[in-house]
Amino acid sequence: MASQDPTSIAGKAFPFRGHVDHLVVGAGAAGIAAARRAAASGAKTLLVDEHPLDPGLFGLDIPYLFGARFDAGTSNAARMEERIVAARPDLLAAMEDGVEVQLGTAAWGGFAKAPASRLFATPVIGLADRDAAWLVGCDRVTLALGARDVVLPVAGWTLPGVMGAQGFDALLRLYGAFSGRRVVVLGGGALAEGTLAAARAAGVTVAGHLATPATLRIEGREHVSGVTWRDGATWHEVDCDTVVMAVDTVPMIDLAELLGCPIAWDPARGGFVATGRAPVDVIGDAAGTAAAARGAWLDLATAEDHTLVCACEDVTAGDLRALRPPRYLDAAGPEAGLAALGALNQDQVKRLTRAGMGPCQGRRCRESVHALLSLDRPSPPASHRAPLRPLPLSVLAALEEDPALRANWTGWFGIAAQWLPHWEPAPANPEFIGGRLSGGDVVK
Amino acid sequence: MIVIVGGGVTGLSTAFWLARDGHPVTVVEKGIVGWEASGRNGGGCTHPYSPLFREEQRLWPMMDDLLGHPTEWRGHRLKVALDEGQLDRMWKSTALATDQGFQAAALDRAELRDLVPWVGDNAIGGIH
């Protein structure tokens, strides 16, 4: 097993599965077109896409907000793969052009030459399917990562049946596995219009459409049962089993950030957007979606302190405003609240409040937290780190372990003198095994 | 004016104690404070072989009051062994602390289960 980074001290090494001229991540329209162009120019081209997803990811709302409105068909990977190929006929054309296509393969990491990692002459991308994780090197990489759903933290948003426009579109048109019947659509722009058209074309009943920001509540005890909203002094109510949040999407920038692409705030392109930097290209929705339309909706949704913003860690808008430590510590925050931090940064706020620290890794609350921190000026982006997608323990367990780690974790990092207490004289021999451990105890 | 370059745990701690003693201190940080090695797992801070161990054990329990913010520090540590060899090596490293006057107790299989009911069947004992 060749190690890509001989200076790594990690106990497990991902296998390296070769090198391609051009790797394209994301097999939507933009990614397929880029892969075909690359192959036509003679480059050995690999196109990967995380769909069809591992069935467990639908329930975790990764990468979209699926809102538990997927049917049992999603657990049949082979059938889902057929549907994806049927929904994207250009995939077959790409294969005929010589593009190697790997579906059900997620990119969870990206490693490129940077001040702290100078060893990588060309980018190395971490890939995984449901059985294994591995690395692929490439001369060029094109990121066609698409866009993410934006969650409005309105009352009731965590109920099963609340989904995003991307999740709805994927279940309806990519997987053919949408299980809802009556939907209410939130949002006024082209995204909402597209959502409505797709719903009607699929025979889904559109029970309601809220095009302008309103104070609203998603009703239901265990599942969505309806939506109520205020119009002036009047409350309206409509019954439904699904609410599609189609106010906004944001460019997916996670892998671009890991690969060192500059990230900038550009509301005209949806929010934080990555710009390609050789040898990385960023294309399609990842390079910019429609102008951000969520501001007024998020302001209304987070106006009240009891609004639940981070559902994984139970953090409310009020907790964030007060910079309150996590609930279970039962401690007050600083008297000055958010202002106490000075320049606000979502990563710092995460450490203080736990907002964004849970299993969804901020996929659902990023935009809400950012809006709360950006009252005066846009707060910097919350950072991303590998693994960008959850890797099953079975994938990690299957990897070869460093013999030192397996035999004895006290041999961690292979530091021979780790257990030498400070009161004993420093050894002349740097290989000396310190303290009360013998050479046999510490496996190097 | 004392300028400290770097806002990790070392720079901030140095600045904190200097400021408490009345010195004018400015910390310069290129990114955000406590973010890189200070904000990640893998950066251990309680090493019994370190000359700072005793002082660190004295200071940790006061940190919440000193900082006015909960640090989630816990004063007890449990080591679980899966075989006799592991247990033996654990005692050897634990002795680095007990030799300095800190307390540690051996736990047999039953005592370990009393303390941690969900510990795996393969755990033969531990140190508390």
| pLDDT in the model for residue A10 | 57
Residues of B in contact with A334 (CB under 8 A): 68-69
Give the model confidence (pLDDT) of B81-124 as tens digits.
999 988 888 888 888 888 888 999 999 999 999 999 999 999 99
Chain-wide mean pLDDT for chain B?
88
ipTM surpasses cut 0.90 = no
Tell me the β-bridge partners of A282. Answer: A143
Of A159, A150, A236, the residue nearest A191 (C-alpha): A150
Print burial letters for A288-318: b (CB count within 10 Å at least 16), e (below 16).
bbeebbbeebbebbbeeeebbbbebbebbbe
Q: Which residue has the higher pLDDT, A141 or B90?
A: A141
Please report, rounded to a whole number, the percentage of residues in chain A having pLDDT higher than 90.
Answer: 70
Question: Is the CB of residue B102 less than 8 Å away from at least one CB of chain A?
Answer: no
Residues of B in contact with A345 (CB under 8 A): 32
| pLDDT in the model for residue B43 | 56
Chain-wide mean pLDDT for chain A?
89
Q: Do B99 and A331 touch (CB under 8 A)?
A: no
Give the model confidence (pLDDT) of A191-231 as tens digits.
999 999 999 999 999 999 999 999 999 999 999 999 999 98
**Span A367-373, average pLDDT:** 93
> Which of A54-63, A147-156, A287-296, A340-349 comes out lowest in average pLDDT?
A340-349
Question: Is the CB of residue B101 less than 8 Å away from at least one CB of chain A?
Answer: no
Nearest CB to B49; choose among A345, A348, A422: A422
For residue A32, report the phi and psi dihedrals to the nearest 5 degrees: -65, -45
Query: pTM of the prediction?
Result: 0.88
Residue A432 in this model has a pLDDT that exceeds 50: no
Q: Which residues contact B57 (CB under 8 A, 6 or more apart)?
A: B46, B102
> Which of A196-205, A266-275, B39-48 comes out lowest in average pLDDT?
B39-48
**Span A340-351, average pLDDT:** 81
Q: Tokens at residue A16, please? A: 């390296």
| pLDDT in the model for residue B25 | 97
| pLDDT in the model for residue A364 | 93
Q: Which residues contact A317 (CB under 8 A, 6 or more apart)?
A: A153, A302, A303, A304, A305, A306, A307, A309, A368, A372
Residue of B nearest to A344 (CA): B32
Q: Which residue has the higher pLDDT, B43 or B62?
A: B62
| pLDDT in the model for residue A417 | 63
| pLDDT in the model for residue A303 | 94
Taking the C-alpha atoms of residue A289 and residue A48, their distance in angstroms, rounded to an integer, is 21
Q: Tokens at residue A281, please? A: 């290209």
Q: Which residue has the higher pLDDT, B4 or A336?
A: B4
| pLDDT in the model for residue A412 | 53
Give the model confidence (pLDDT) of A375-416 as tens digits.
888 999 999 989 999 988 888 877 877 665 666 555 555 555
Taking the C-alpha atoms of residue A8 and residue A1, their distance in angstroms, rounded to an integer, is 14
Residue A433 distance to chain B (closest CA, Å): 13
Residue A304 in this model has a pLDDT that exceeds 60: yes
Q: Which residue has the higher pLDDT, A370 or A14?
A: A370
Nearest CB to A325; choose among B70, B93, B99: B70
Taking the C-alpha atoms of residue A423 and residue B50, their distance in angstroms, rounded to an integer, is 9
| pLDDT in the model for residue A427 | 66
Q: Which residues contact A136 (CB under 8 A, 6 or more apart)?
A: A16, A17, A18, A19, A20, A23, A46, A124, A125, A127
Q: Tokens at residue B111, please? A: 């005592």
Taking the C-alpha atoms of residue A331 and residue A310, their distance in angstroms, rounded to an integer, is 18
Phi-psi sector, A133: left (phi>0), alpha (psi -120 to 50), beta: beta
**Span A37-66, average pLDDT:** 95
Q: Which residue has the higher pLDDT, A13 or A89?
A: A89
Let me know: does A199 contact A172? Beta carbons within 8 Å: yes
pLDDT level of residue A118 (50, 70, 90 thresholds): confident
Residue B60 distance to chain A (closest CA, Å): 17
Strand order in the sheet with A242-245: A162-164, A242-245, A182-186, A205-210
Residue B45 in this model has a pLDDT that exceeds 50: yes
| pLDDT in the model for residue A444 | 39
Of A343, A340, A350, the residue nearest A376 (C-alpha): A343
